[in-house]
């Protein structure tokens, strides 16, 4: 569901410093919101503070939200912490593979699409 940014309240949180939002704002500008923010039944933010602040900075009027039923302060803390802890960054090898694939799929023309298809086939066969 979507909520107006003005309807979302930010209560007491663990994370108060958003850090540099430029990459997140750029991603949201280009791709939209990939992961909804979480709010409780009173529209109080549970998780997604940086996404919410980025949406505000981008001038959005509303944002995709997911409603979670919070029983108590402990549950709220568990959800906020878990969303930030369980995330795992790409390894250097995974980043390198992503760069290679981005280069493969960024070339234009039917010949390059054919080359990409053949390379994908080899990747599947040899599980590279």
| CB-based contact 59:31 (threshold 8 Å) | no
| CB-based contact 45:38 (threshold 8 Å) | yes
Sorting pLDDT into bands at 50, 70 and 90, what band is 123? confident
**Percent over 70 (pLDDT), the chain:** 99
Rounded Cα–Cα distance for residues 35 and 86 (Å): 15
**Percent over 90 (pLDDT), the chain:** 48
Q: Which helix (H) or strand (E) holds 119?
A: helix 110-126
Q: Which residue has the higher pLDDT, 112 or 28?
A: 28
Q: What is the pLDDT of residues 2-47, one digit of tens each?
A: 999 999 999 888 888 899 999 999 999 999 999 999 999 999 999 9
Averaged pLDDT for residues 85-90: 77
Of the candidate ranges 28-32, 51-55, 70-74, the one whose mean pLDDT is the lowest: 70-74
Sorting pLDDT into bands at 50, 70 and 90, what band is 1? very high
| CB-based contact 76:104 (threshold 8 Å) | no
Whole-number pLDDT of residue 128: 59
pTM exceeds 0.95? no
| Helix, strand or coil, per DSSP, at residue 37 | strand
């Amino acid at each position: 569901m979507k909520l107006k940014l003005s309807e979302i309240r930010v209560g007491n949180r663990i994370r108060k410093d958003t850090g540099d939002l430029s990459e997140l704002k750029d991603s949201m500008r280009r791709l939209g919101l990939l992961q909804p923010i979480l709010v409780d039944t009173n529209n109080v933010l549970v998780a997604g503070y940086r996404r919410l602040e980025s949406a505000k900075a981008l001038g959005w009027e509303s944002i995709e939200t997911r409603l979670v039923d919070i029983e108590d302060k402990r549950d709220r803390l568990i959800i906020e912490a878990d969303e930030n802890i369980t995330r795992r960054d790409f390894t250097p090898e995974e980043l390198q593979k992503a760069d290679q694939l981005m280069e493969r799929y960024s070339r234009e023309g039917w010949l390059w699409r054919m080359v990409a298809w053949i390379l994908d086939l080899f990747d599947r066969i040899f599980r590279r």
